[in-house]
Amino acid sequence: MQIAVASGKGGTGKTTISTSLALSADTDVQYLDCDVEEPNGHIFLKPKLTYSETCWVTIPKLDESRCTACGKCRDICAFNAIAQFGETVMMFPEMCHSCLGCFRVCEEDALLENRREIGILESGMAGDIEFVHGRVRIGEAMGIPLLKAVKKKADPEKLIIIDAPPGTSCPFVESINDADYVILVTEPTPFGLHDLKLAVTVLKNFNIPGGIIINRSDLGDDRVQRYCEAEQISILMEIPFQRNIAEGYARGQNLVDTVPELRDSFRDLLEKLALQTAK
């Protein structure tokens, strides 16, 4: 089973929930931190990293001796990574999304395969939890290829917990598209509700089942609860604000270590989702 933990906005407690689920499971667990632009699951799980690899994407390099300046590579590039000024063709590697369309349309074989480093994939063990995350190269604008590399490490024999990146853009969609269930973490604030609605819309468009965990549930108002009731969305848990949780978080301490009684709640939630997805 793959469970993705996501949120419409940052700062709702997504990583707190995903690491708590991983620590509370009774089965073999694999934790995939797909927030490659700013992974922080390692802060709470404290894995011993034993493997590292550099990840690359294929980009074109122009062989000017073969190029006839036909413009086909420029025309097919949706990201303006290839420009043409008269007979001069220019490549902008940082803008290339590695779709490889330019290689397909070049009839003169004037494009050579080059590569660009996008980041590092690391893995190891956090106790009994298999841990994988990616760290995108500083200045790299395209994290999805690295995110895909992290997801390729998924072990179908284990319970997979995916810590998705915040927001509802392409990295979010890529993270959840194989999930059996998505837990959306939100907070009872106007911003929390606004971005929750966006995330729920994505789940509906992809027909992925999901439920809500409300973090700091006793702050703000009840508009999130009323929205979930109106949309018939399950509220899986409500976690009230506690100062000791915030203090533990600041020390890099996991939620279920700060509040041990929550471990049973997360374990029960995993069992409930396993039964639900098996139907």
- Please give the pLDDT value at position 74: 96
pLDDT for residue 278 is more than 80 = no
Q: Give CATH for domain 2-55+121-278.
A: 3.40.50.300
pLDDT at 180 over 70: yes
pLDDT at 139: 87
205-247 pLDDT tens trace = 999 999 999 999 988 889 999 999 999 999 999 999 989 998 9
Residue extents of the structural domains in the chain: 2-55+121-278, 64-109
Do 2-55+121-278 and 64-109 fold alike per CATH?
Answer: no
Q: What is the pLDDT of residue 279?
A: 66
3-state secondary structure the chain: CEEEEECCCCCCCHHHHHHHHHHHCCCCEEEEECCCCCCCHHHHHCCEEEEEEEEEEEEEEECCCCCCCCCHHHHHCCCCCEEEECCEEEECHHHCCCCCHHHHHCCCCCEEEEEEEEEEEEEEEECCEEEEEEEECCCCCCCHHHHHHHHCCCCCCCEEEEECCCCCCHHHHHHHCCCCEEEEEECCCHHHHHHHHHHHHHHHHHCCCEEEEEECCCCCCCHHHHHHHHHCCEEEEEECCCHHHHHHHHCCCCHHHHCCCHHHHHHHHHHHHHHHHHC
Summarize pLDDT for 78-125 with one digit per residue, the tens: 999 999 999 999 999 999 999 999 999 999 999 999 999 999 999 999
Q: Give me the pLDDT at residue 199, please.
A: 95
| pTM (2 d.p.) | 0.91
What pLDDT is stored for residue 140 in this prediction? 87
Question: Under CATH, to which class is 64-109 assigned?
Answer: alpha beta
Once rounded to an integer, what is the mean pLDDT over residues 53-77?
A: 96
